[in-house]
Amino acid sequence: MVTILQLLVSLLIVLSFALVVGVPVILVSPGEWEKSKNLVYTGAGVWFSLVIVTAAFNSFVI
């Protein structure tokens, strides 16, 4: 159980880092927002879902 929680937290950290680096680059690049808008929204949705799943799983571990 603890290993699964550690995996979820690791995925959350990696995705957070990718979004923190990727979203500003997409916003600054001319014309990239229109191309990558769905990718940013999907990444934000996956991040939010991963936060909820990690929090729910954490309540079972502790």
The domain in which residue 51 lies consists of: 2-61
Contacts of 3 (CB under 8 A, 6+ apart): none
Query: For the domain that residue 28 is a member of, what is the CATH number?
Result: 1.10.287.740
**What's the pLDDT band for 1 if we cut at 50, 70, 90?**
confident
Determine contact, residues 25/56, Cβ cutoff 8 Å: no
Predicted confidence (pLDDT) per residue in 4-54, tens digit: 999 999 999 999 999 999 999 999 999 999 999 999 999 999 999 999 999
Number of domains the chain contains: 1
